[in-house]
Chain A
């Protein structure tokens, strides 16, 4: 014969789940033995004495207020809510809970069934931990991706730069070859003339002068190339500053330039007095480049004016010419190598390294160069140096 089924009261008291009845505000009205056993309380310590929320962790209490209560009010039941209860001894007890709100003769009571959920809790903790690890891995991966992308971008920039360099070198070889051919052709012709037994003494003299000028042009070109290479690839042009009288150094350079550009007017204006520190050879080279440009691009009917001005701290060299201003589009790249304007004669005079070298001479002196160019006041290159060889803030 089958054993008797226990009485309902005993079933309730020792049910395999915690059973609680509370008022709508959470006040505990009834608990079963299973719940007491799990939480470590005597029934008398709970019934009429505590609210269900008093047994929750703080997080659980907030959740009770923001989710549990409203949901129970609105839909009358909630299911599979996971919470942590505080055991009388202080430790926490993970549980899963179902709850219904039921009206007993118009009085609303909440009926709760709870199950201990240690394993599920551990499993969820593991899931959370693994999710965190996955997120960290993802973050690491994203970081690596980003690093890779930025490395690729840098590589692309470096490749672009080296391609630019290669293209630049090819172009320069082309221009230099072209520019060197003219003086060499002239020299060869001169030699053939000199080889003729019938050449007159006077003509011979003239041919010599021309050949010398051609050699000078070729030499100038190779000098520029050497300086350029040093400025571009090496650590920059070297200068050897020493105490000089700027007016005198520039005056001598202007004198030589007048001989080279016979028939053109070059005016030199001097202002102020004093000894300055600079490399006189580089100043002469700089002036040669700028005056050469002024001759090539400026109005041939007006003088080129060179001003040297000395004050307490600085000395300034200005080279001014009249004529068509420098195109606005050219100004930002004016000092870059191989930038050229439209030359008066339409024939290229140089490789276009002049202003790049000028800029590097200024850099080596710690000085500053600026250019202004317009129809009304012409074109002026202004170079400011410290008299004592100090660096001047660029601006």
Chain B
């Protein structure tokens, strides 16, 4: 198995520790373009695409394996093993933050610290727990995905109007953003939004930075606070931002918060 091709792994930078960045549902490693370069001067930076997303090897997509977040976590353990040098800090957006938690539990030595951007262990309200969505909401999302059979999944990519303010983006790159196979997108949406990782959040999880946007319908503040309470070794940082992707809309705030956090983490090679 070639992990590099399977996950479209890109390594830049160098340093005594490795930052591994994982995108969330809906996009690919391009999401990190405004954040990752800020660390390449001091760290080894590893970017990759989850199998089924972006430039990953679609033929590696196995419906049974990716029926739960576990399949993705197994991939991450392999990937860290193959590409991590020195202690590894895992930076996960959205659902990938939980994939990182699962990987950390599977291979306890593999991740020295987590940076979780908009993490949510469970999207659906459950008793006292506020996830932000009712089950009907999630069903509506899955229907939206279903009925966009001709729409989003494929037609998203060819942006026929070009990018008026982004001359630096060539056509080739423009067309490669967030490619998704519609069938895979449906399953990944189901696995993501029906997942419940609340029981995996406890003191076993390595020191963590939770980056929480002030206004985020996908991961509301209450969810960030829940994750913070569940993880004894965690720091919660609010980022003044509307939306679920502060690494795109407020990249400098993310970089600053991450630098503050990395300064507090012991990154001497303990492996």
Contacts and interface: CB of A to CB of B under 8 A. Distances in A.
Interface of A: 24-26, 53, 57-63, 65-67, 69-71, 73-84, 96, 98, 100-103, 120-121, 124-125, 127-128, 131
**Interface footprint category on B:** 35 or more
A59 B245 contact: no
A26 B141 contact: no
Given A59-B141, A67-B152, A77 B146 contact: no
A103 B164 CA distance: 9
A79 B165 contact: no
A65 B160 CA distance: 21
Interface of B: 24-27, 30-31, 33, 94, 133, 137, 140-152, 155-156, 158-166, 169, 174, 177-178, 193, 216-218, 242-245, 248-249
B248 A77 contact: no
B242 A26 contact: yes
Given A53-B217, A74-B248, A82 B150 contact: yes
Given A63-B152, A66-B244, A79 B217 contact: no
5 contacts: A73-B245, A75-B159, A78-B156, A79-B155, A127-B150
B142 A79 contact: no
Given A58-B133, A75-B159, A82-B150, 8 more contacts: A59-B137, A59-B143, A65-B218, A75-B174, A81-B156, A102-B164, A124-B149, A128-B146
Contacts of A67: 26-27, 152, 156, 178
A120 B164 CA distance: 29
Nearest to A108: B165
A66 B161 contact: no
A63 B248 contact: no
A82 B148 contact: yes
A306 B216 CA distance: 89
Contact of B161 (A53, A71, A98): A98
Contacts of A79: 155, 158-161
A57 B33 CA distance: 30
Contacts of B156: 67, 71, 78, 80-81
A77 B27 contact: no
Contacts of A81: 151-152, 155-156
B151 A76 contact: no
A62 B245 CA distance: 12
A303 B145 CA distance: 86
Contact of A74 (B30, B94, B137): B30
A290 B144 CA distance: 78
Contacts of B177: 71, 74-75
A25 B243 contact: yes
B248 A73 contact: yes
Contacts of A71: 27, 156, 159, 177-178
A128 B143 CA distance: 10
List the 8 closest A-B pairs by CB distance, nearest first.
A59-B144, A76-B163, A66-B26, A82-B151, A59-B141, A58-B137, A25-B242, A65-B244
Best-buried of B24, B144, B218 by chain A (most CB within 10 Å): B144
A77 B159 contact: yes
B124 to A, nearest CB: 12
Contact of A57 (B133, B140, B159): B140
Given A60-B144, A79-B155, A101-B165, A66 B242 contact: no
A23 B142 CA distance: 28
Contacts of A74: 30-31, 33, 169, 177, 248
A81 B157 CA distance: 10
Q: Counting chain B CB atoms within 10 Å of each CB, which of A75, A98, A121, A128 scores highest?
A: A75
A58 B142 CA distance: 10
B218 A75 contact: no
A76 B166 contact: yes
B243 A62 contact: no
B249 A69 contact: yes
Contacts of A25: 242-243
Given A65-B217, A131-B149, A80 B249 contact: no
B118 to A, nearest CB: 9
A67 B180 CA distance: 11
Contacts of B159: 71, 75-79
B163 A75 contact: yes
B192 to A, nearest CB: 9
A127 B149 contact: yes
